[in-house]
Structure 1
């Protein structure tokens, strides 16, 4: 069975989602590392991310194949990814890296609820236990930053979490949906909006190399997440993807000198333990998942 803990496709899915989480963890560094406004970052990140992704597809000779595979689920995934990105970047500007990463840790619960309600994919007992532990880790972290939460940024981060969880469910329900082209399309969708709401052509030339690197990073993270999500249950994809949460504050400390509270370190440790335990227990068991491929 593809969802057996030792199946090659499941192993590939786990690796891809972990890669995506590690790469995504740098998003706050790119966003807060430049003075460029949020909509200008969205514009240039989108230009570079779409360019890198389309070049990647062209070099692989896969552009026509993915274009032919663009069905309603693919367009739906692109819209969800675009909406998530539109919230994701401003969230970092309005809140802290740790807060945004913490809120994204709610993704397992959102993805599990959506998958259960929409495609009747009940999460395994192992995933539920690990998700509960991860949720406890979130509360430990929040307990150390309740007095400094930025409501607008946190609300945007929560919206981004819902959008990403929705895209995971789409790829789980329709695993034949292409991954790279919808990711590129999600960037292109935002270009005219960002051009109107921002001033991208006034961005300092010195910021463009950083934004180009951000575009490349985002392209890699989006494709690996989508490719991994098609191989794993939605709840497990979301659970693995929250590896970003303990990694992002560490990067913020090392690069931005943004010091996490002791509660952040403790909560991150709890979440890491939950993820490792879920993998050792074979979180992708097919019990109670009638729609598993």
Structure 2
């Protein structure tokens, strides 16, 4: 059991490392912008997941999608919102702003579960919400004074934790487990279909398409499938805590690989958010121990 747990932790570390490359890779694009960036990444994600399912399940793939029912399709829709908002936000503001805004997902999920599922919210979580909210407001205040475009990007990025919270609560209300992988496939298909008309005329160079293919396969499809497996051996607070490393890795990659140095206000606000979330999740792990 201990060995299995250590492997799961190592696997989750690998997942966060793969997730974190989105920002620095996006900064290397030549001509692809906004919705076109989302379209190509979602398309390659859908193609890779579709190929995986066709190889593993063959003709039964369509039956698996049909048998998932309403929760599976709602989950797929929420994934499409997350895919789209994330990549569009990266084209509008800094990697740090996007990743730190996304880190609010566990807190928003807890609040939504309080009103939709009747789950009590611990005092430490309410405290974390207030402190993390102050850090986000600090960052947003800086964005307004620095460049309104950064504020718009942060607001678009807010769609990711909101959709994530709705996704989780929808699956919990269904009363049964919904496989993440077909939901991801549905989300990628919806995202690519919706953003294609908004991307025309397509301007991505072969260099851009290659980079976005890397993101679709190695930054999204593979790590998400790996996360499904390792999550079985980890508690929810552990997963949330380890997932925070994506923010640290992502900001570091953008800093080192794209010379995107976060402003002091962003670092201070982000540090406040991360420290608060880490404390909240670590305390949750302690209670489960």
Q: TM-score range with shorter-chain normalisation?
A: 0.7 to 0.9
CA distance, structure 2, for counterparts of residue 191 and residue 263 of structure 1: 35
Task: Please state which structure has a larger fraction of its residues in helix.
Answer: 2
Secondary structure of the corresponding residue to residue 152 of structure 1: helix
- Retained in 2: the 8 A contact 1:103–1:158? yes
Q: 1:177 to 1:227 in 2, by over 3 A?
A: farther
- Computed over aligned residues only, the root mean square deviation of the Cα atoms, in angstroms, reads 3.6
- Unaligned stretches of 5+ in structure 2? none
Give the SS at the match of 1:94.
Answer: coil
Deviations 1:26-53 (A, max 9, x none): 2222333213022222221122101111
What is the match of residue 198 of structure 1? 199
Unaligned runs of 5+ in 1: 1-5, 287-293
TM-score w.r.t. the length of structure 2 is: 0.78
Structure 1 equivalent of residue 37 of structure 2: 41
For the residue of structure 2 that corresponds to 1:36, the secondary structure is coil
Answer whether contact 2:241 2:282 (CA < 8 A) is retained.
no
Equivalent in the alignment of 1:208 = 209
Number of residue pairs the alignment of both structures matches: 280
Comparing 59-68 with 175-184, greater Cα deviation is found at 59-68
Q: Which residue of 2 aligns with 1:89?
A: 87
* CA distance in structure 2 between the partners assigned to 1:114 and 1:207 by the alignment: 38
User: 1:81, 1:183 within 8 Å by CA — same for their partners in 2?
Assistant: yes
Contact 1:42 1:86 (C-alpha < 8 Å) held by counterparts = yes
Cα distance in structure 2, aligned partners of 1:121 and 1:11: 30
| Structure 1 residue 78: Cα displacement | 0.5
Change in 2 beyond 3 A, CA 1:122/1:14: farther
Give yes or no for contact 1:124–1:284 (8 Å, CA) kept in 2.
Answer: no
Q: Secondary structure at the match of 2:75?
A: helix
User: How far apart in 2 are the matches of 1:69 and 1:284?
Assistant: 38
Cα 1:128–1:244, aligned 2, differ >3 Å: closer, same or farther?
Answer: farther
Which residue of the partner structure matches residue 76 of structure 2? 78
Distance 1:115 1:13 in 2: 26
- For the 8 Å contact 2:97–2:266, the answer to whether it is kept is no
- SS of equivalent residue, structure 2 residue 208: helix
Within 2, Cα distance between the matches of 1:161 and 1:195?
A: 24
1:276-291 matches, cutoff 5 A? 276-278=278-280, 280-283=282-285, 285=287
Q: Alpha-carbon deviations, 1:225-256, whole Å to 9, x = none?
A: 666778755x8765654433333222111111
Per the alignment, residue 262 of structure 2 pairs with 260
Distance (whole Å) between structure 2 residues aligned to residue 111 and residue 9 of structure 1: 28
Cα deviation for residue 76 of structure 1 reads 0.2
Q: Which moved more, 1:87-96 or 1:57-66?
A: 57-66
Instruction: State whether residues 228 and 237 of structure 1, in contact with CA within 8 Å, keep that contact through their aligned partners in structure 2.
Output: no
Q: CA deviation at 1:181?
A: 1.1
How far, CA to CA, are the matches of 1:213 and 1:142 in structure 2?
Answer: 31
Shift of 1:283: 3.4
* CA separation of 1:125 and 1:237: change in aligned 2, threshold 3 A: farther
Partner of 1:290: none
Partner of 1:180: 181
Asked whether the 8 Å contact 2:100–2:273 carries over to 1, the reply is: no
Match of 2:169 in 1: 169
Measured in 1, the distance between the counterparts of 2:16 and 2:184 equals 16
Q: Return the TM-score normalized by structure 1.
A: 0.77
Aligned equivalent of 2:27, options 10, 24, 32 = 32
